[in-house]
Amino acid sequence: MEAANDTKQLILKSNPAARVDTLKLDLSSLKSVRSFADKFISMDLPLNILINNAGIMFCPYQLSEDGIEMQFATNHLGHFLLTNLLLENMKSTARKMGIEGRIVNLSSIAHLHSYDEGIRFDNLNDTDGYSDKKAYGQSKLANILHANELSRRLQEEGANITVNSVHPGLIVTALWRHSFILMRVLKLFTCIFWKNVPQGAATTCYVALHPSLKGVTGKYFFDCNEEKPGLMAREETLGKRLWNFSEKLLKSAQ
């Protein structure tokens, strides 16, 4: 919250007329997600854009407070629940304002390096075979599958909302706190590919705001260009299975 409030002051300094509200949200806690959604809805504000961007990376094995593998819980399930809880607000806003709503899931090129089966539906919480890198890749694969399946459902419904996923690139942020040494080694050999925070945010802002992407949905972007994600990320049956699996997890965690 301290960082959020610092950012709020930075925005107000450059644009004193802006209204900026900060609300606490812990994506690893389903209770926190529900509390956040309740508070936001009670504010009776329009919701045009939802960017699902919080996450953790390469952390040692641990379970969330809801008993779910931490990277999957934080990077996917928290966003899945948050999006579902705010979706009616987005649909209503799009109808009333006549402006296309946009949902953006931040994924990663790491979605290519998940477990062999993609998502460990049958042994998500098992310590056997746990890999901090593959668990992260699994959660990033889930981000794309979630975006694609939600996009398909909203298109069938005729809702004026697009859903896309992006890979922001290699950026030096606190996301690397569990792998600082790895970050330093990677940066040594791939320094020309690393971005600062504004550069890393560019693709997200492009997908969330640019007029040329009106009506574009169910796509994956990198460096402000549409790219083709990995094969498993394009499997519709896997996306549907993940959706059902996520709903069951939410029910069992209540």
Residue 245 in domain: yes
Tokens representing residue 226 in the block:
């549409």
Contact (CB, 8 A) for 133 and 107: no
Q: Is the dihedral of CA 177, 12, 166, 85 positive or negative?
A: positive
Identify whether 231 is part of a domain.
yes
> What is the widest separation between alpha-carbon atoms in the chain?
54
- Under DSSP, the state recorded for 154 is H
Residues with catalytic roles: 130
User: What six digits make up the tokens of 117?
Assistant: 């089966």
| Residue 119 belongs to a domain | yes
148 in a structural domain: yes
Predicted structure pTM score:
0.90
Could you tell me where the beta strands, DSSP code E, fall in 64-158?
101-106
Quick one: pLDDT at residue 176? 46
What are the tokens at 74?
């934080």
Query: Does a structural domain hold residue 16?
Result: no
Enclosing domain of residue 41: 21-252
10 within some domain: no
**Residue 160 and residue 145: Cα distance in Å, rounded?**
20
Assess if residue 14 is contained within a domain.
no
The confidence score (pLDDT) of residue 182 equals 55
> Domain containing 244 — which CATH number?
3.40.50.720
Confirm whether 226 is domain-assigned.
yes
In the sheet with 161-167, reading across from the earlier edge strand, the strands are 49-52, 101-106, 161-167, 220-222, 225-227
- 254 residues of the chain, pLDDT tens digit each: 999 999 999 999 999 999 999 999 999 999 999 999 999 999 999 999 999 997 898 899 999 999 999 999 999 999 999 999 999 999 999 999 999 999 999 999 999 999 999 999 999 999 999 999 999 999 999 999 999 999 999 999 999 999 999 999 765 555 545 455 555 555 554 555 565 777 879 999 999 999 999 999 999 999 999 999 999 999 999 999 999 999 999 999 87
Q: How many domains does the chain have?
A: 1
